[in-house]
Structure 1
């Protein structure tokens, strides 16, 4: 039953995607990342102070790499959400287990396992079906950025794994990630422009921050207390919830080939995550 916390996380992540898509009418994707990160850094800092957890760390270099890779992934992901059907954007971002399987062999020098190779191929066949011919030509850049967000999310996963091995708590990891994301996007926006915040926009920003933070907590609890294989599989419930929201709110009717592609991404990603469990514990990157 504890694994079912991942269903809660999946629903909340899909709700965050809805709020990001709605927020695009008021803010740029960079601003949405900034406010989402600003909310997250204050929430995690208050929790750290309340439980008197350590804030300082000797492993700031790894935190910086994790923060930069996570920030790049988040910026691409939010932009993709604002440009593509919600389920498509989330499916492309959820290619990160496929990239992680490749990195485990190429970077971490783990032995090649052919069942894992086959699951990766299944997932990337799904990507091809999802991108072509279901996306119009003017959305190809957004589609490629969505897949790139999964690439950088996989790098963030490796950094999270390294931090876990160094003894850093999940609160420290989330705190420094949101801090780096807030500072990075904040500096960028100082040299560009901040959009005015009205009442409707403020509610959307608060909703994005709340759903993202609660989803992170639910996901962390699921991985800590639930069966890892079950949690890894339930993580793809976000795609299902996003599909339902897209149909209900925007009448996003995708062609059959797109649904087939999404199904193959989910299948490949789930099997890749399960097969990778024997090598390393599953830790969510964002």
Structure 2
């Protein structure tokens, strides 16, 4: 449990490190390498059988994310070479994605023996204690409005942790991974409803690709489940 918390905090720290050195669109796009790494690591470390369908779903989802992000990717369109700080930001973002993928594998392993509430509680406590170590590095008191927003963010994050842990309890890591891309799609929806941001053509096309990848993996896993059920029914009882 403590290792899961430490890994999660390290991933967040590297993510913030990347954010202050990269434009936001680039940092977000690089972070979306995590689902792909989850699939790779789940094959290497968990021994999950990764069929071409899961690889395809993750790859297609990543394409959708890049389509959404493409108009905002300033580093690729500037024509200038990356500076040292930007290179460090890219490395930090990719390492953060890799560490986040490891954290997901730890969750997948923990759900085999621990209840969801225990996993989420230990992660929250560990992350909170480690976050207190940042107090000497420029901590500023929050206004009431900022504190309210932070509490709301914590509540939403805790609920997301519970649901994510439950997802890894009921499905393999490589099955859950492609659905990470829907967070960008939901960001578009929230941006429209909360801030009036009108989706562009790139957002709509990329969103359709992301949704298609998710629907495909759901359909494929359902087909596999039906095949396994038919196999069990056709196998005569032993003994």
Q: Classify the TM-score, shorter chain.
A: 0.5 to 0.7
Gaps of 5+ in 2: 171-175, 226-239
Check if 1:160 corresponds to 2:111.
no
Residues 151 and 213 of structure 1: CA distance in aligned 2, closer, same or farther (over 3 Å): same
* Contact 1:233/1:270, CA 8 A, preserved across alignment: no
**Residues of 1 paired with 2:91 and 2:67: CA distance?**
13
The answer on 1:193 being equivalent to 2:138 is yes
Match of 2:189 in 1: 244
Do the aligned partners of residues 273 and 244 (structure 1) sit closer, same or farther apart at CA in structure 2, a change above 3 Å counting? same
The C-alpha deviation readout for 1:171-229, integer Å capped at 9, x for no partner, is 22112211221122211x2330211222212211222222323444466678879xxxx
Query: Unmatched 5+ residue regions in structure 1?
Result: 1-62, 226-230, 280-286
Correspondence for 2:52 among 95, 114, 123:
114
Match of 1:134 in 2: 72
> How well do the aligned residues superpose, as a CA RMSD in angstroms?
4.5
Whether the 8 Å contact between 1:94 and 1:269 is mirrored in structure 2 is no
In our comparison, the structure showing a higher alpha carbon Rg is: 2
**Paired residues for 1:214-253 under 5 Å:** 214-217=159-162, 238-253=183-198
**8 Å contact kept, 2:179–2:214:** no
Q: Which residue of 2 aligns with 1:181?
A: 127
Paired residue for 1:104? 42
Q: Is the 8 A contact 1:98 1:268 kept in 2?
A: no
**Structure 1 residues 119 and 233, CA gap change in structure 2 (3 angstroms):** closer
The residue number in structure 2 matching 1:172 is: 118
Q: Is the 8 A contact 2:107 2:165 kept in 1?
A: no
Picking from 76, 92, 98, the partner of 1:151 is: 98
2:106 is paired with a residue whose SS is: helix
Distance 2:177 2:219 in 1: 7
Residue 80 of structure 1, CA deviation: 7.9
Whether the aligned pair in 1 keeps the contact of 2:111 and 2:168 (CA below 8 Å) is no
Tell me how far apart the structure 1 counterparts of residues 149 and 207 of structure 2 sit (CA, whole Å).
28
SS at match of 1:121: helix
Q: In the superposition, relative to structure 1, how do residues 262 and 195 fare at CA in structure 2: closer, same or farther (>3 Å)?
A: farther
Identify the residue that residue 230 of structure 2 maps to in structure 1.
Answer: none
CA–CA distance in structure 2, aligned partners of residues 117 and 267 of structure 1: 14
How many aligned positions are there? 209
Instruction: State whether residues 66 and 160 of structure 1, in contact with CA within 8 Å, keep that contact through their aligned partners in structure 2.
Output: yes
Residue in 1 that maps onto 2:157: 212
**Aligned CA distance change for structure 1 residues 244 and 148 (closer, same or farther; 3 Å):** farther
Q: TM-score, normalised by structure 1?
A: 0.54
- Quote the Cα distance in structure 1 between the aligned partners of 2:93 and 2:198: 19
Structure having greater relative contact order (Cα 8 Å, sep ≥ 6): 1
Work out which of the residue numbers 36, 44, 61 in structure 2 matches 1:123.
Answer: 61
Q: Give the superposition deviation at 1:258.
A: 4.5
SS at match of 2:72: coil
